[in-house]
Amino acid sequence: MFAAALTRLPAGVLADRYPLKPLMVVPDLVRAATTLWIVIVILTDSLTLPQLLVASVVGAVCGAIFDSAQTVAIRHVVPPEQLPQALAQDSARGHVAGLAGQPSGGYLYGVGAVLPVLADAVSYVACAGLTMLVRNKMRPSRAPGRLRTLWRDIPVGLRYVASSPFLRVTLACATGFQVVFAGLTIAIIASQGAREGAAFHLGTALSMAALGGILGAWAAPSLSRRLSPATLLYSFGWACCAALATLGQVQNIYVIGVLLAVMFFLATPANATLFAVQIDTTPPELQGRVVSAALLAAGIAAPIGPPLAGLLLDSTGQAPTFLLFAALVAVLTIVMHLSPTIRTMRMPGGPKPGGRQAAESPQPDPPS
């Protein structure tokens, strides 16, 4: 995690300066090679902790570079008006992978300890191969003449984020929501784990949450047509607030699963809309750095959630813990209501304030 955090901002500069396809293909190939190395040392019975640490650091650094480039690349392959739907589908991909990957990994581990690691390596090779098939150039090279200009570019991106009221508010609120969602799973497991058959029922409830996220991606186009971006964010915030307050009062794990599904159903299109507006309103030459700043904020916030949830459960109990989470979400939602920049948000590709039209938004590069 520390390695990924250190790499986030430089990765954003790379995404702003270099072709995006190599920034996705090369990290995947490096991760594939590193993972195959772990396969070999497992098969030769020479696996050590330092080897695992090196593989983890390399994987984290490559993942930070890939994530920044992949998020910016979406803008190059879809028109602006389709950004929310594309980002929602990208989020759904993660939910599907979670649903299928965990049981598959457990099954493969049961057959042989090396098989899940080998499958991971194969997945990186497949991802690199599919990325190479994309015909879009995804930005021509504009590499600086000297490497040190890359480090000088990092403060430029941070100053832009600090100077934008929209980015300041949305990143702050997104960070707060990340803390809540990161601690939510731990709070539910800790509060329900002592019950008979808890593992199966908890797994089912968490699967319901993932299914809610998948359905949210499917419903994103319809919700985007019927609700303004601000209304979608407000609805997500208040629905999460109500669901969290209810979670502190219910004991039935399947009711908990339904509440989680509702939260993730609205979280997927809301998060996709927010990310799409961020991409659409950010100058093309700064998008990598803004995306990396958002990913860095989320990466820093996520580790806060689990220990916070554990501390609150130990000191206050189940109901107060979820009520405190609900109160935090309520504060964040009120902040969004009070923000003029969120109230005036427009969908990418739609009319902008002041009469500017979607034609002024960055357009995808033509396919090669």
78 and 104 co-located in one domain = yes
- What is the Cα–Cα distance from 298 to 91, expressed in whole angstroms? 15
- Residue 351 belongs to some domain of the structure: no
Between 60-64, 67-71, 137-141, the lowest mean confidence (pLDDT) is in 137-141
Q: Cβ(301)–Cβ(178) under 8 Å?
A: yes
Residue 255 and residue 124 in one domain? no
Region 112-137: mean pLDDT is 89
Residue 324 confidence (pLDDT) above 50? yes
Q: CA 352, CA 349: separation in Å to the nearest integer?
A: 8
Q: Is residue 91 assigned to a domain?
A: yes
Number of domains composing the chain: 2
Q: Which of 135, 169, 200 is the last residue of a domain?
A: 135
Residue 178 resides in a domain: yes
Judgement on whether residues 106 and 35 belong to the same structural domain of the protein: yes
CATH number at residue 219: 1.20.1250.20
Q: How confident is the model at residue 347 (pLDDT cuts 50, 70, 90)?
A: confident
Lowest mean pLDDT among 16-20, 89-93, 106-110, 164-168: 106-110
Q: Which of 103, 135, 167 is the last residue of a domain?
A: 135
Range of the domain at 114: 1-135
Residues, the chain, total?
A: 368
How far is CA 247 from its chain centroid?
24
More confident of the two residues 79 and 133: 133
The pLDDT score that the predictor gives to residue 47 is 85
| pLDDT surpasses 50 at 187 | yes
- CA gap 233, 344 in Å, rounded: 12
Residue 141 within a domain: no
Is the Cβ–Cβ distance between 318 and 192 less than 8 Å? no
User: Which residue type sits at 159?
Assistant: R
pLDDT above 80: residue 218: yes
Per-residue tokens: 207: 């699967």
Q: Are residues 110 and 255 in the same domain?
A: no
- Domain assignment present for residue 361? The answer is no
High-pLDDT (> 90) share of the chain, %: 33
198 and 326 belong to one structural domain: yes
Assign 3-class secondary structure to the chain: CHHHHHHHHHHHHHHHHCCHHHHHHHHHHHHHHHHHHHHHHHHCCCCCHHHHHHHHHHHHHHHHHHHHHHHHHHHHHCCHHHHHHHHHHHHHHHHHHHHHHHHHHHHHHHHCCCHHHHHHHHHHHHHHHHHHCCCECCCCCCCCCCCHHHHHHHHHHHHHHHHCHHHHHHHHHHHHHHHHHHHHHHHHHHHHCCCCCHHHHHHHHHHHHHHHHHHHHHHHHHHHHHCCHHHHHHHHHHHHHHHHHHHCCCCCHHHHHHHHHHHHHHHHHHHHHHHHHHHHHCCHHHHHHHHHHHHHHHHHHHHHHHHHHHHHHHHHCHHHHHHHHHHHHHHHHHHHHHCHHHHCCCCCCCCCHHHCCHHHCCCCCCEC
- pLDDT score at 297: 82
pLDDT at 97: 76
88 and 125 in a common domain: yes
Asked if pLDDT for residue 195 goes beyond 70, the answer is no
pLDDT of residue 287: 85
d(CA 95, CA 106) in angstroms, rounded, equals 17
Tell me the mean pLDDT in the region 312-334: 93
Position 228, amino acid? S
Together in a domain, 81 and 213: no
pLDDT tens digits, 69-100: 988 888 888 887 788 888 888 887 777 777 77
The yes-or-no verdict on residue 7 having pLDDT over 80 is yes
Least confident interval from 12-16, 63-67, 235-239, 293-297: 293-297
pLDDT at 42 over 50: yes
Residues 159 and 273 in one domain: yes
Q: Is 143 part of any domain?
A: no
Q: How far from chain centre, in Å, is Cα 226?
A: 25
Is 107 in the same domain as 204? Answer: no
Residue type, 50: P
